[in-house]
Amino acid sequence: MMKQLFEDSLLFGTNASFIEGLYEKYLHNPESVPPEWHEYFDKLRQAERTAGSAGQVSQNVPYSSEVESFSRPPAAPWRLSGHSPDQELLQDDYDLETERKQIAVLQIINAYRFLGVRHADLDPLKHQEKPHIPELEPTYYGLTEADMSTVFGTGSLIGPPRASLADILRILRETYCGSIGVEYMYITDTEQKRWIQNRIEGSRAQSRFSPEYKRHILERLNAAEGLEKYLHTRYVGQKRFSGEGGESLIPLLDNLLQRAGQMGVQQVIIGMAHRARLNVLVNTLGKLPSDLFQEFEGKYAQDLTEGDVKYHQGFSSAVSTPGGTMRLTLAFNPSHLEIVDPVVQGSVRARQQRLRDRQGDLALPVLLHGDAAYSAQGVVMETLNLSQTRGYGTGGTIHVIINNQIGFTTSDPRDTRSTLYCTDVSKMIEAPILHVNGDDPEAVVMAAEIALDFRMKFHKDVVVDMVCFRTLGHNEQDEPMVTQPLMYKIIGRHPGTRKLYADKLEAEGVIGAGQAELMVKAYRDDMDGGRNPNKTILYGYKSSNAVDWTPFLKNNKWDMKVQTGLPIAELKNLATRLTDVPSKFKLHARVEKVIADRRLMGEGKLPLDWGMAETLAYAALLKDGYAVRISGQDSGRGTFFHRHAVLHDQNRARWNEGTYVPLRHIAPEQPGFVIIDSVLSEEAVLGFEYGYTTAEPNELVVWEAQFGDFANGAQVVIDQFIASGEAKWGRLCGLVMMLPHGYEGQGPEHSSARLERFLQLCAEYNIQVCVPSTAAQMFHMLRRQMIRPLRKPLIIMSPKSLLRHKESFSSLEDLANGSFRNVIPEMDKLDPQNVRRVIACCGKIYYELLAYRREHEIKDIAIVRIEQLYPFPHDDFQIEVDRYSQAKDILWCQEEPGNQGAWHRIQHYLLRHKRPDQSLGYALRPSSASPAVGYLAKHKFQQNELIVAAFREKI
């Protein structure tokens, strides 16, 4: 009778899974379960809050799907008829104790799912003691040695529905405390969580590879170790940031690529820092060892103006997989370790766009990280935050941490991070984390398989944390024993992962005695011959999906003339499409006025403002077949309420409904128009857009800062990629940066886009820096960026107050007949022979100078606008200097302080063009440590002073 009660209880056997499902629904929405279960689970939660005695679950273990208290569930068959009250009381006592123990078993299963990773065998060096975790001990739950042979229901634990406590503990320790430690119970999606449980618990986290594949793993380990030892012997002391101690990375990548290819992935884009990079270049991507040796010997190709060190280099190749040919790309990366993360994501997104790969099934991002950088650098968090957004998602990334347990020279966790694991930042997006011992290559490969399968099914990021070590110092010239004597004594005694695995396979009979050493010799022979033994590499392969950059390599004249204007009839037709709003679409009153005015602009009845001119430029490009992508904070509407590319229905019922984008309705077969209100990030988003443009030259890609100085937060991207990527790596990029700039009294943070910084980066015709002063200039400049066969970054000091300055507006004729003018001459009718001074300026200050001159009826000073500051338009400017043969001086006027703005760069050009009899002067704000003053009164005083100074009698 007791046995029948034990087996019939709702808490045992297969019923446990049913209760788990109810409990999860209750936690999500208490009203979604029947009232009797609602009441029961309420009591469970109350019991949790008051728990403290033995047998209660620790508050350190978060809630999960397991049953977590000892209250009796509703409608249970507790009493059997025909028993006396005393018998029923005895039966109740037995029943309650049995129930208590059963729930304790479910709790310990839950604890291992949460905390088993703390006792996993992850560290090859075994130099840190495992912490004592009471929740993993049966005694914590009131279970004793006497209960070990008792059979309990296993709940949702994959395996037998009932097992002895001893067997349950064995299963749990095998699964969660072996060479793989998994973290996933924080995931809220039940399907994802159950998938991982099935995969981990179903296999007991034990790999089952064939003897043939085990030999393949050994061959890949042999290649990884062989290259490092060869380089260490041949190029003694040269920096290479070796992968010794982390050799299992190479079989991991091999398995990942082959398995991904089998699943239909066509392109894999890899980003990584320095550690093991040369190894990945040769053994994974197939770079010829002979080419690498030439780089060690200083024999670089001379086709780049500057070049870069070998451990920053990227590479492209192709490999054969069971699913066909796969294209591989390793992104170029500077020493700013994790900055490559968003660049890779952008490159992948562009490729997915080209392949029409909406789910991310054809192009896969793989990011390799160092443990210290992954936990410490903020761009990691920013990039993770992009992963599930509409504008930046790539269908999930495979992250691999090469966890050397040391960052540079620091290995004490108290100094390296504030989290338990270096991977904890990944939990913010609920990415599952697979920690794995790098000395167990089979477990490493298994972790990679699980990670890829999860990513391909759920299209989410997943992390493999390969815990290994670093055999040598931070670089080959560093002595790690100085700061890490204990760690490096252990490392010095370590035989190496390849040797450990070879001995294991020999003991298993997978390889014969001495076979491993023959593999070592064979690899060294290949190195001596400069050959790559990786048979999957396809040399000379050309993908049909690859972008042809040839037109942009041959036609790289920045001053090439192109036709950017359009016939007026076509402009009017585009304007009609832009102002055609669905009849039942309710616009906000202010936006309705904007659209109404734009209709009049399109009809030629009003001059075109900046918002309309810019939008017409996009519409015209779309009609010409160029896709357009714009991102930034509040780009859809525009920070200054000027763009309104995305219209919002004021009668919409829900926040995610009721938008209309006119630029997506220009032509029936038009390319894509994407405009994104980005996350509040500059570094990751700008890095993403840079990566996007390096993979897609036929799409106008624009990143807009909310205010120009916000680009300060992305300075690494600007310095290391945008300004120098072509000189270092030959990477062309047509990215447009719109940086609102202008001194209107808004203080230090909303005035300057730091023009001086961009001009300081200018050299070798690497970027374009423009300061347009009319709406038509914006139109032609954006059109020129795509129509001209030149792909250089375009930095626009874009307007703020000029957006509504009527004198900066343009006519339809300006858009139809004009082109971008690098220099705009004097616009008023002055007699050139009477001009005594030429004022050169750019941007908003022109209109203030013009207003002052007209107000004071000054006729002997001409004002010339330099709209493109770099590459400097020498010929155009010389024409203006020659026009005023009687001018005694040239004066540069700017709003910025003297140590900022264009003055320090522009003066050299002005000196080059002035005549010997002319003087050169300036009018500007006093040099300042701050970009602008914070006091409005002081701003106005300074602004007036510099304008008056521009018209003073003598320089």
Lowest mean pLDDT among 257-266, 430-439, 644-653: 644-653
Tell me the pLDDT band of 49, cut-offs 50, 70 and 90: low
Lowest mean pLDDT among 12-16, 215-219, 298-302, 950-954: 12-16
On the question of pLDDT at 295 being above 70, the answer is yes
On the question of pLDDT at 555 being above 60, the answer is yes
In the chain, CATH 3.40.50.11610 covers 823-950
% pLDDT > 70, the chain: 90
> Chain-wide mean pLDDT for the chain?
89
Tell me the pLDDT band of 13, cut-offs 50, 70 and 90: very low
The pLDDT, as a whole number, for residue 51 is: 42
In the chain, CATH 3.40.50.12470 covers 568-817
The burial class, CB within 10 Å (0-12 / 13-18 / 19+), for 592 is: middle
The pLDDT, as a whole number, for residue 45 is: 64
The first and second tokens of residue 194, run together, are 């159950």
The first and second tokens of residue 753, run together, are 């886009």
| Residue 18 neighbours by CB under 8 Å, 6+ apart | none
Give DSSP secondary structure letters for 411-432: --HHHH-SSSSTTGGGGGGT--
Most confident of 73-82, 172-181, 552-561: 172-181
Which residues are bridge partners to 738 per DSSP? Answer: 704, 796
Decide: helix, strand or coil at residue 746: coil
| Residue 565 neighbours by CB under 8 Å, 6+ apart | 780, 815, 816, 817, 818, 819
Q: Which CATH number does the domain 211-276+338-528 belong to among 3.40.190.10, 3.10.620.30, 3.40.50.1970, 3.40.50.970?
A: 3.40.50.970
The first and second tokens of residue 526, run together, are 């290949």
Higher pLDDT, 488 or 655: 488
Rounded Cα–Cα distance for residues 34 and 42 (Å): 12
Cβ–Cβ under 8 Å, residues 666 and 622: yes
The first and second tokens of residue 780, run together, are 């032609």
By residue count, the chain amounts to: 955
Lowest mean pLDDT among 77-91, 165-179, 209-223: 77-91
Rounded Cα–Cα distance for residues 208 and 501 (Å): 15
Pairing mode of beta strands 398-403, 433-437: unpaired
Rounded Cα–Cα distance for residues 43 and 661 (Å): 52
The first and second tokens of residue 65, run together, are 């799907």
Tell me the pLDDT band of 320, cut-offs 50, 70 and 90: very high
Radius of gyration of the chain from Cα atoms? 34
Sign of CA dihedral 581, 585, 591, 596: positive
E-only strand ranges, 123-244:
151-153, 162-164, 180-183
Q: How many CA atoms within 13 Å lie on the side-chain side of 620?
A: 28
Sign of CA dihedral 853, 857, 858, 860: positive
- For the stretch 630-681, pLDDT in tens is 999 999 999 999 999 999 999 886 766 789 999 999 998 899 999 999 999 9
The pLDDT, as a whole number, for residue 306 is: 62
Q: What's the CATH code, domain 568-817?
A: 3.40.50.12470
Cβ of 358: how many Cβ atoms within 10 Å?
Answer: 10
Tell me the pLDDT band of 2, cut-offs 50, 70 and 90: very low
Cis before 871? omega within 30: yes
Cis before 85? omega within 30: no
On the question of pLDDT at 505 being above 50, the answer is yes
Cβ–Cβ under 8 Å, residues 725 and 332: yes
- Residue range 465-488: average pLDDT? 82
Cβ–Cβ under 8 Å, residues 282 and 523: no
Q: How many CA atoms within 13 Å lie on the side-chain side of 576?
A: 8
- Residue range 832-851: average pLDDT? 97
Tell me the pLDDT band of 307, cut-offs 50, 70 and 90: low
In the chain, CATH 3.40.50.970 covers 211-276+338-528
| CATH 3.40.50.11610 correct for 823-950 | yes
Decide: helix, strand or coil at residue 25: helix
